[in-house]
Structure 1
Amino acid sequence: ARQEKRISRGRILGGTSALPGAHPWMAALYIADEFCAGTLVSSCWIVSAAHCFLRNPLKSQIRVVLGQHSFNDTGPNTRTFAVQDYILYPPVFAALVKLKKVEGRCALKTPFIRPICLPGKDLTFPDHSCCKISGWGHMHEKANSYSHLMEGVVKIIPFDQCSSPDVYGSEVRSGMLCAGSESCVDACQGDSGGPLACDCDGVSFLYGIISWGDGCGRSGKPGVYTLVNYMLHIKSIFHTVLYAL
């Protein structure tokens, strides 16, 4: 059965420890008694996964921590925000979260906090490109703890391969992409909503959002991601908000 990758992980499965500040766009979302990741795309806006919010949590139940390295640690490099609003767009499994301003401002750039770039309409990464995933999620499928930020490299898998009957079939559709690794690097529970970041000319772009997959690191069952390019360019509230940034 499909197993959604919800935020409550200790680390990227099969990954390595990330250096503090290596992924300054990472956001930790504490949603009532659940945990998800997100990606800072401007001073006030976070992109995450819709299924993190499907229980319709009160905005007062959501806390966003930027600059976090270790799970649930608010050290000197972190900034914590309440949420002003969140917008769900289930057709592409995505969510937008607006931070509540503190003294008239949202996130200020620091060595540990910085938005990632959004891809332009024509920016695509070819099949087999290497991209990075990062998160605090579980280290294996049955784990139940989190720790410090982990990272891993995955390759974009051809759509035809991922939508074949022996992988995900018709569950994978337009607006999704698959990525995985022969060395079993994968996202897991608790990494949901985090970034698939691909580099072009030394600049990192948010190319995918960690969404779902069967288990964690299972052979022949890669991770499935929301394709940010698709989300940006369909005529939706996401298109309107993100193009206003």
Structure 2
Amino acid sequence: MIWLVSFLSCIWLIGAEAPFNHFVHNPRVVGGHDATPNTWKWQVSLQYDSYGDGSYYHLCGGSIIDAFYIMTAAHCILSLQANQYRVVVGEYNLDKYEGSEQFIRVERIIVHPAWNEDLAKGNDIALLRLANPVQNNGYVEIANLPYPDQVLPHGFTCYITGWGLMDYYGSIPAILQVAPINVVEHEVCSGPNWWGSNALKTMVCAGGDGIISGCQGDSGGPLSCYTDGAWRVHGVVSYGPAGWCNQVTKPTVFTRVSAFEDWIYSIVQ
């Protein structure tokens, strides 16, 4: 993939599978379990049609942040042609149509202006403007965001959700997965035995226990944390270690949403 520059010899992109790979289309969180239906209502499946023939497959996760806007990772954007994407909200089992889903075309793609395809530089965030608004059918919800510049304390328990790979061998259950994952503060995550200088203050690290992590297919999805009396999306899944996803001292790294709210609100009116 185009983001695999030199520093990425030790990390991989969590989710943006090559567009010709139609076999790894619905993987899951490592160390997770089936989510309870109709719970993580802001979770989105971002789907991609690489050949322009209407054959969409799950590419990345995302979060509903407005009736017209989805938040995801910039590295999930394989093409700036909006008509190659759709989002599915109210999704649970990617292999079944359950009547809760809404399939909505993407009208416009807005990638953060400072994104330069280098994950170590951060700014891995993008917004998708939808052609039609998300309808409140009881299976969807607009995500709450954290307070601007809010930073979570070390050890705080959040939840990662998605359809990312379950393991190194590529197990691919179709049902949305969820797992509790503990925040690793910046002072620890940026240590030499952790992510070092690749961990920026505009990121959130979580996991690193060798058990629970995000994996390929989870990119762009939410890090949901219960703070200030509500569930809020504090992170956007960005990257993790190469090879085994759940490595000790190599936590999943998220774009820290609270560091980008001025930009988000400048677009989402």
TM-score, normalised to structure 1, is 0.90
Please say if residues 90 and 100 of structure 2, whose CA atoms lie closer than 8 Å, have aligned partners that are also in contact: yes
Superimposed CA distance per residue, residues 70-89 of structure 1 (whole angstroms, 9 cap, x where no aligned partner): 12544310000001101111
**Matching residue of 2:6:** none
**Distance in 1 between residues matched to 2:228 and 2:259, nearest whole Å:** 22
Name stretches of at least 5 consecutive residues in structure 1 with no aligned partner: none
Name stretches of at least 5 consecutive residues in structure 2 with no aligned partner: 1-9, 17-24, 51-57, 116-121
**Distance in 1 between residues matched to 2:26 and 2:213, nearest whole Å:** 12
CA, structure 1 residues 132+164, in 2 after alignment: closer, same or farther (shift >3 Å)? same
**Matching residue of 1:32:** 49
Question: How big is the shift at 1:60?
Answer: 1.3
Q: Which one of the candidate residues 98, 123, 140 is aligned to 1:92?
A: 123
**Distance in 2 between residues matched to 1:118 and 1:99, nearest whole Å:** 19
**Matching residue of 2:100:** 77
**Matching residue of 1:56:** 79
- For residue 241 of structure 1, what is the amino acid of its counterpart? I
Please say if residues 224 and 231 of structure 2, whose CA atoms lie closer than 8 Å, have aligned partners that are also in contact: yes
**Distance in 1 between residues matched to 2:250 and 2:147, nearest whole Å:** 29
**Distance in 1 between residues matched to 2:97 and 2:82, nearest whole Å:** 20
**Matching residue of 1:229:** 258
**Matching residue of 2:143:** 116
| DSSP-derived class of the 2:83 partner | helix
Question: How big is the shift at 1:163?
Answer: 0.8
Question: How big is the shift at 1:110?
Answer: 2.8
Is 1:22 matched with 2:39? yes
- For residue 158 of structure 2, what is the amino acid of its counterpart? C
**Distance in 2 between residues matched to 1:31 and 1:100, nearest whole Å:** 16
| DSSP-derived class of the 1:11 partner | coil
**Distance in 1 between residues matched to 2:196 and 2:124, nearest whole Å:** 18
| DSSP-derived class of the 1:113 partner | coil
TM-score, normalised to structure 2, is 0.82
> Percent identity between the aligned chains?
28
| DSSP-derived class of the 1:142 partner | coil
**Matching residue of 2:12:** 3
